[in-house]
């Protein structure tokens, strides 16, 4: 099973493999404790609307997964409860920059930058997050994911409030080879949480939620996060060049 924007539309009527992979072991986040979180409305060519997650890098750019494919996007900033519209900044996206080597088959290079049509207004509930830099090969510790995706098995609707869960990253040679961090177990992101950040103990974003599936070794459920430290040059290039457009 894989998590991306188009899938959110489909899960209203069906699921893959007979189940919905959800945030097991999660709980509601403290309201506005993660002011970098962005809820993305994804608009398709056929007029449908789905959702993905994302996170604010600065007043101009949001990061998400390239697998959150859509014709156009609206970024919702400052969201905790989606029904409290008075707290939300709604900004359309004018620039879409998926990684040029994103592979739709195996989800490698699953990372994308979105340029906002107007600058985000920073305040208590809207703040950017810093990105992890180069690493020493060791796995980051005490990591969490958060999002508005499905929260319970056989629940096909997004959560109205921001949920979060602890995840433990595992040593996985195949994941490392493909520039992913991976976690296993029943705690993790749900459908609709593609593109949310993997945030670890130093408060920086280390990964972008990409996809979920089965391990080739033992059939265990794994969640894969695109490793941000491996893409810092690409991120800086896009933001430096396209930030002037």
What is the structure's pLDDT at 245? 62
What is the structure's pLDDT at 121? 96
Residues of the chain where predicted confidence (pLDDT) is lower than 50:
1-22, 153-154
User: How many alpha carbons fall within 13 Å on the CB side of residue 205?
Assistant: 28
**Comparing C-alpha atoms, which of 243, 240, 238, 14 is closest to residue 112?**
238
Residue 58 sits at the vertex; the CA angle it makes with 54 and 62, to the nearest 5 degrees, is: 25
- 219 in helix, strand or coil? coil
Please give the torsion angle defined by the CA atoms of residues 201, 8, 72 and 204, in that order, rounded to the nearest 10 degrees.
0
Q: Which residue has the tokens 């493909």?
A: 178
Contact 240, 139 (CB under 8 A): no
What is the structure's pLDDT at 186? 77
Alpha helices in 51-204 (DSSP H): 173-177
DSSP 78: S
What is the structure's pLDDT at 2? 36
Contact 222, 172 (CB under 8 A): yes
The correct CATH number of 35-128+231-242 out of 2.40.10.10, 2.40.50.100, 2.60.120.260, 3.40.190.10 is 2.40.10.10
What are the residue boundaries of the structural domains of the chain, listed by start? 35-128+231-242
């Amino acid at each position: 099973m894989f998590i991306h924007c188009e899938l959110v539309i489909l899960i209203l009527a069906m699921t893959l493999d007979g189940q919905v992979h959800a945030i097991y072991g999660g709980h509601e986040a403290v309201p506005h404790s993660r002011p970098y979180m962005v809820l993305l409305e994804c608009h398709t060519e056929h007029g449908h609307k789905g959702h993905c997650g994302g996170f604010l890098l600065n007043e101009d750019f949001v990061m998400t997964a390239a697998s959150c494919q859509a014709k156009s996007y609206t970024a919702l900033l400052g969201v905790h409860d989606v029904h409290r519209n008075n707290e939300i900044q709604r900004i359309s996206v004018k620039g879409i920059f998926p990684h040029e080597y994103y592979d739709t088959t195996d989800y490698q290079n699953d990372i994308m930058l979105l340029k906002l049509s107007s600058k985000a207004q920073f305040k208590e509930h809207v703040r950017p997050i810093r990105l992890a830099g180069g690493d020493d090969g060791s796995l980051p510790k005490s990591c969490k994911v958060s999002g508005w995706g499905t929260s319970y098995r056989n629940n096909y609707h997004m959560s109205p409030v921001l949920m979060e869960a602890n995840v433990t990253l595992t040593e996985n040679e195949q994941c490392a080879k493909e520039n992913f961090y991976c976690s296993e177990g029943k705690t993790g992101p749900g459908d609709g949480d593609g593109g949310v950040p993997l945030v670890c103990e130093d408060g920086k974003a280390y990964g972008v939620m990409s996809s979920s599936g089965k391990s080739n070794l033992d059939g265990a459920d794994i969640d894969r996060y695109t490793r941000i430290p491996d893409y810092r040059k690409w991120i800086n290039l896009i933001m430096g060049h396209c930030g002037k457009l």
